[in-house]
Amino acid sequence: MGFWQDNRFVVTGGSGFLGGFVVDALRQRGAADITVPRSAEYDLRTHDAVLALLDDAQPDVIIHMAAVVGGIGANREHPAEFFYDNLMMGVHLMHEAWRAGVKKFVTIGTVCAYPKFTPVPFKEDDLWIGYPEETNAPYGLAKKMLLVQGQAYRQQYGFKAIYLLPTNLYGPRDNFDLETSHVIPALIRKFLEAKERGDDQVVAWGTGSPTREFLYVEDAAEGILLATEHYEDDEPVNLGSGMEISIKRLTELIAEHTGFSGEIVWDTSKPDGQPRRSLDTSRAREAFGFQAQTDFEEGLKRTIGWYQEHATQKA
C-alpha cells in the first residue's frame, strides 16, 4: 500500500473512458493524492499549461493517457489535429516532468503504432519493421514518438519512463457517438437503434474480414497500475487479452446480444483498416504478472447493458 499512499499522482485523460477506470482503481488501492487535469484549465498542448500543472500538482508519478482519439472516420478527417495534439501533449509533459524531478512517467501508447503488416501476434520487437496502417498513421506515429522520447530520456538522464501498448478497449462508459466512436460502441448503438425503429437491416463498414483484439477496460486499468508499480524497463509492453476475432464475427455477436434479427449489409466502399490485429501478451505476464480476466462475451453484455441504461436515462 505504501507505493499508492506515499506518492502524488497526475492522471492526464483521467476523466476519459480508460482514465476514469484508472482513477477508480487508484483510489481502490489507497491513493489519496490524485490530480486529474481538465483541458479547460490545462491545455496540455501548450508549454505554459504543462508548467502550471506540474507546479500545482507537484506529482511523483504521471500516468499520461490524454489523447485525441477516434475511429477510422475521425482519423481520416482530422489527421493533422490527431498528429499535432497528441505529439505536443506528450512531448511537453515528459520533458517538463523530467525537469521537475518526477519519479516515474507512464505513457499509454496505442496499438495503432504497429506497422500495417506486423506478423500476428504482434510482438513489441516488431514495432519498427514498417509503416503504420495509413488511416491512423498520424495518430499512431505521434504516440510512438513518446516511446522514443522516454527511451532517450532514460538513456541520457536516467529518467524512469515506461511505455504501454493497450489493444482496442471496450466496456461501460465508452464513447457511443457515431461520428467518433470505435467499432464496438458504434455497432452496439447502431443495432439497438435499428431494433427500436424496426429496421430490417444495418450497414457495417468494410468487408468484415479484418481481425481485432479487444481488452475490457477494467482489465486495462489493472494492467496499467501493475506496470506503474512494478515495471522498470524501457522496452514497450503490450496490454491485451490474447483473443483475436474477425469484425464479421464481432458484428454478428453484437447483433445477437442486442436482439437485432435483421440483415447485416457490408459497405465495401468503406475502409477496413489494418488487416489483422492481435498481440503477444507474454511480456506483460512475465514482467509484472498481468493477464486479462474478463470473458469477451461477458464484457460485451456489460457494455450493452450500460449503454441501454444510459440511453434510457438520457431519454
What integer pLDDT is reported at residue 135 of this predicted model?
Answer: 87
Give the active site residues: 139
End-to-end CA distance of the chain, in Å?
A: 42
What integer pLDDT is reported at residue 261 of this predicted model?
Answer: 95
What integer pLDDT is reported at residue 72 of this predicted model?
Answer: 72
What integer pLDDT is reported at residue 314 of this predicted model?
Answer: 63
Beta strand pairing status for 61-64 and 104-108?
parallel
pTM, two decimal places: 0.93
Topology (CATH level 3) of domain 2-173+214-243+277-294: Rossmann fold (3.40.50)
Ranges in the chain, pLDDT < 50: none
300, 253 Cβ separation under 8 angstroms: yes
What integer pLDDT is reported at residue 184 of this predicted model?
Answer: 96
**Residue 264 backbone phi and psi in degrees, to 5:** -100, 120
Read off the pLDDT of residues 67-107 as tens digits, 9 standing for 90 and up: 987 777 777 898 999 999 999 999 999 999 999 999 999 99
Q: Work out the angle at residue 49's Cα, subtended by the Cα atoms of residues 44 and 55, and round it to the nearest 5 degrees.
A: 120
Cβ burial of 120 (10 Å; 0-12, 13-18, 19+) is middle
Beta strand pairing status for 161-166 and 104-108?
parallel
12, 37 Cβ separation under 8 angstroms: yes
Residue type, 245: I
* Orientation of helix 79-100 relative to helix 47-57, angle to 10°: 40
Contacts of 13 (CB under 8 A, 6+ apart): 19, 64, 65, 66, 67, 108
What integer pLDDT is reported at residue 1 of this predicted model?
Answer: 62
